[in-house]
Structure formats: C-alpha cells, structure tokens
A and B are shown apart, each in its own frame.
Chain A
Amino acid sequence: MSRRIRALVPAAALVCASLVLAGAGAGATKDTRDVKYGITDDAWLLHGAGTLESRLDELTRLGADVVRFTVRWDQVARKRPESPREHADSAYHWDEVDAVLRGLRRHGIEPVVTLCGTPAWANGGRSANWAPTSDRSFANFAYATARRYPWVQYWTIWNEPNRATFLRPTTVTTYVEKLLNPAYTQLHAVVDGVRVGGGVTAPRAGSSGVAPVTWIRSMGAAGAKLDAYAHHPYPGRPQSETPWGPKCPNCQTIAMADLERLENEVERAFGSTRIWLTEYGYQTNPPEVFLGVSSEQQATYVSSAAMRAYRASPVDMLIFFMVRDDTDPAGWQSGVFTEDGVVKPSYAAFRLPLMQTARRGALVGLWGQVRPRSGSQPFRIRLEEDDRAGWIGGTRLTDPNGFFSLTVAAPARVRVRIWSPRDGAFGHEVLVR
C-alpha cells in the first residue's frame, strides 16, 4: 500500500463515520430512488451463443432489473386468427415468445414488452412497418398478448413510430388512433396495475420522419393515452458528446445530454408523467469507425448515464442496447461483449456502476450501485495507485435498491472501484479528478 493511500484510509473512515452520524446510513443515501436498469438485445436473446438458459443466466449475472423484448405481431400472427382476442387461437404462434418471457420471469427479471410489426393480412398486404387498416386488429392482438402474459407489468407500444422505417404513414394520428390508444385500453382492461409506455421515439427524425419534440407535442394534442413516455436518447455526436453534454439548446432532437428537454416536453404535453429511456448506448471503436468510442469511454458513459437517469426524478427506467456486438462490422457495436464474446469494460460498469460526483478539498463524492440481486448489498471501495492498492473503510451496505452515495478522502489521479463480495467482482474503475 503506498504511503499516499495508507494516509487516506483513516481519513476516509472518519469521513464515513461522520456520514453515518449525519444520517446518511452505512453508505446509503436517504432520498433513494427505484430506477430500473436493463438491457435489450432480441437477436442475442433468441439466437445468441449457448442456450436460452445460459443467456438468461448471463442477464442475471449482469444484474438487469428489466429486459426489453419485442413481440412481433407479424410473426406471432402470420395468418389472420379466427378469434383474435383468444390467445389460444391456432393462428397464433407463441413458442419463441413463451420461452423468452417465461424464462425472464423464472429469473426474476421483469420484461418490458414492446408490441410491434403489422401482419400483411392486417394492412392490405404491405410490409410490417405499415399501420393496420383497422384500429380493432391491433387492439385485439394487445388483448390476446396481455391475456397470455398477465404478469407482465411494463409494455411499450410500437417502436420509433416517428421514423418511416418503423411506421408508415409516419404520423401521430396514425400512431395514436390505430396503435397506442386502442392497445392502452385493452392492456388496462386485462392487467391490474399495468404501465403502458407510449412514444418510444427515436432521438431524431432520420429520413422522412418526425423530430421527437414535434412528435411529443402532437401526441399531447391528439389525446394520447399513456402511463409513461418512452424515448431512445442516443447521442448525436458520440465521439464528443457525453450523457451530460454538450447540450443542443434549440434542437428538435433529444439525446441524453438534453434530458431536461424531454422532461419539459413530456410535462407540457401530458402533465406529470413518468419517463422510460428504453434504448440507449455508445458503440465502440474498434470495430465501429464512424460512431465508436473507446471501450473505456463506453464503460464510463454507461456509469455516467446510469447516474444521469438516477438524478432525473421523472425517469423510472434506463435500458441499454445491446448485450453482444453484431457479427457484421457494419452493424451495431454497443454491446458489453465483443462479437467474439470477449468482455468489454462496460460489462463491469453495467453491473457495478460508479461515478465521481464532486470534489470539495480532499473529499470526493461517489455515486454507485450494486446491481445484481435485490435488497441491500454489501460492497467495499478500493483505491488504487500505480500497482498499489488499499481499501477505503470496511464493508458497507447499499440502500434497499442497491444504490449508494458517499464521500471519501481521495487525492486526484488515484483510481477507485467497487468490490462486490457477493459477486466476487470489481466494477469499472474511475479515475479520480
């Protein structure tokens, strides 16, 4: 242990003791929040390496509270059902969905089910991104799905309907009248306490789409029914944009850096409504040359975004995309595993996020979480400098949701990280400023 670090330990113990006296608990904050963190990767979950059970085990190890999974209407109901509200109708094929959703439930992971994709029989023979011709058909499918999985509490309606890639005609009227409101009514009719997320918007319009700010305002004017507004705040300039900034004050787009704009627009359109961030991530370079950041940066942003969501009081959920990089280098590369299955630093950052929140003199504020399992979790903070290391204080407990905020004495340029004894694992290290 270096002299510098050795000198810190008694000071840190004193500081932590004062925190306890101040009522902060053994490393836990008083004003804790219950933000759910998750991950989404349908392709990996359905067809990834190993068995479905091994993939679910991996999600458990990661500590995902929620997993977003898309139930494709066009794949479950390739043929028109005779009794569309009966989930047992022979036209419905639930096998893959059953396996995933029931597996998640068995592992104690809450699914966030996205209903999406129109079968050809429901939209005049067009592709799956075309809206159904009748507002009844999607409502019936939502009803049947909810009857089959009545224990699913979180639902989102469609995906990025503000982009023509996913919804045509790309209009709020189509989305609200043909999809969102009919499904909302049916889901609430079946599931007690269900939460339905609407919007599910992309961060920008893309080709022939609608910017999210315009979309939110129009949804409010159209009388959209929702319990939460869902959005995908991908960064606009990943190489230079953190989850906190720079902001884009007059933009119609909404990235994580502009989370306050999302909060304001949602409040204005729908009143006091919760916010779900149902897709987010940074790609890594290599292999993504144009959009990628380094693996270390990605890990830092995973922790940073987690804290950003925690501190935004209307936000209930943050879901990262994806588990494992695309095998195609031109695909998406924001996984916590490389395409070859090698663990990236973001794996540790997802499981045991840690961020420096402030510095006042010799004191440094830390925020973090032990994500696996539920309830208070034991943890320690490790301080490292060059090839030497030491612990700050003893084992502490997180709050009941796994979070902690504490103040320790630490000089600049040392590295700190979480140790989770129950996981036998360290988190991603933070370089103290």
Chain B
Amino acid sequence: MVAALALLVALGVITGCAHPLSARPACADAILDDWTTGALRATYPADCYDAAIDALPEDLRAYTSAADDISRAAIAASRTGGSARQVAAAPVESETARALPLSVVLLTLLVTVVVASGVAASVIRHRRAR
C-alpha cells in the first residue's frame, strides 16, 4: 500500500523506492515526459524505452500503468519497420506522404467535376441565348 510505503520511506526503512531521476538518460526522461502528457509515441531508440522502464521508481511501477504503456510503445516502435532508431529517423512527413495521393486524387476529382459542371452550364446557356 502507498500508505505503508510512505511510512516506511518516512522512517527510512526503505530507501530504494525513490529512484533518482538523474540516473536515467535524457531520452528516457523524454519518454516519461511524453507518458505524463499522454503523448507517448514510437519515436525513440529501443534503448531509451528499456532505460525508461529500468529507471521507473517502484511507485510508478505499482501504482500507474507507466511500465505497461512504455512497453507497448517499445513494441510498437519495433514493429514499425525495423529498429526504433530507424523509426525515430523516419520523418513524420512520410505518414503524410502516404496519405497525400488519396487526398490529391479526391481533390482533383472534385475540382474536375465542378469545372466540368461550370463549363457544361455555360455551354447550355450560350446555346439557349442563340
């Protein structure tokens, strides 16, 4: 229980529960920051996820889903084409680039229909005017 843990820490019985934040690399801190803000993504090298999980204080392990969430992000990173390092290197634009052709096709189609309708209407009006 948190209550007992807090009491034990207060009494100095347990000292290993509060893991010093400085013990982890910067990218592990960034992962924890991302988790805190709900923005954890598969954009870090694999080592960083491991380091972040290793550095989690026991209270975060036991009383939050941080370890599970970071593990899932690490798995997602490893599945997204090779190493997470490559994922990190891959620009976000690549996702956008994959999505562009469909948008462009639809937009082109829409513009074509509108222009064609306009031209057809103009021709019809022109003929009626004669």
Provide the B23-39 mask, 1 if CB < 8 A to any CB of A, else 0. 00000000010001110
B10 within 8 A of A: yes
Segment 198-236 of A: residues with Cβ below 8 Å from B: 200, 202-207, 209, 232, 234-236
Task: Indicate if B4 sits at the interface (CB-CB under 8 A).
Answer: yes
- The answer to whether B62 touches A209, judged by C-beta atoms less than 8 angstroms apart, is yes
Interchain pairs with CB closer than 8 A, number: 105
Instruction: Note all chain A residues with C-beta closer than 8 A to B9.
Output: 328, 331
Contact A238/B64 with A279-B1, A290-B36, A332-B59 known, Cβ cut-off 8 Å: yes
* Option from B7, B10, B58, B60 in Cβ contact (under 8 Å) with A165: B58
Once the chains bind, are B18 and A232 in contact (CB under 8 Å)?
A: no
Residues of A within 8 A of B69 (CB): 237
Q: Is B65 close to A, CB under 8 A?
A: yes
Per-residue B-contact encoding for A130-170, CB less than 8 Å = 1, 0 else? 00000000000000000000000000000110010110000
- Judge if A399 is at the interface, Cβ distance under 8 Å: no
Question: Least Cβ distance of B81 to chain A in Å?
Answer: 26
**Contact, CB under 8 Å: A204 / B65:** yes
Report Cα–Cα, A203/B6, bound state, in Å: 17
Closest residue on chain A to residue B62 by CB atoms:
A206
A236 touches B65 (CB 8 A): yes
Report the interface size class on chain B. 20 to 34
Q: Do A236 and B64 touch across chains, with their CB atoms under 8 A apart?
A: yes
Query: Would A207 and B58 be within 8 Å (CB), given that A289-B36, A291-B64, A322-B6 are in contact?
Result: yes
A: number of interface residues (CB 8 Å):
46
Interfacial residues of chain B within 20-61, with CB under 8 A of chain A in the complex: 32, 36-38, 57-61
Q: Complex: how many Å from CA A204 to CA B65?
A: 8
**Separation of A114 and B68 alpha carbons in the complex (Å):** 30
Interface of A is mostly: loop
Q: Which residues of A contact B10 (CB under 8 A)?
A: 43, 326, 328, 331
In the complex, per-residue mask of A305-333: 1 if CB is within 8 Å of any chain B CB, else 0: 00000000000000001100010101110
Complex CA gap A204/B10 in Å reads 23
- Interface assignment of A253: CB less than 8 Å from any CB of chain B: yes
Q: Are B3 and A70 in contact (CB under 8 A)?
A: yes
Residue among B18, B57, B58, B68 facing the most chain A CB atoms (10 A cut-off): B68
Binding site for A on B (CB under 8 A): 1-7, 9-10, 14, 17-18, 32, 36-38, 57-65, 68-69
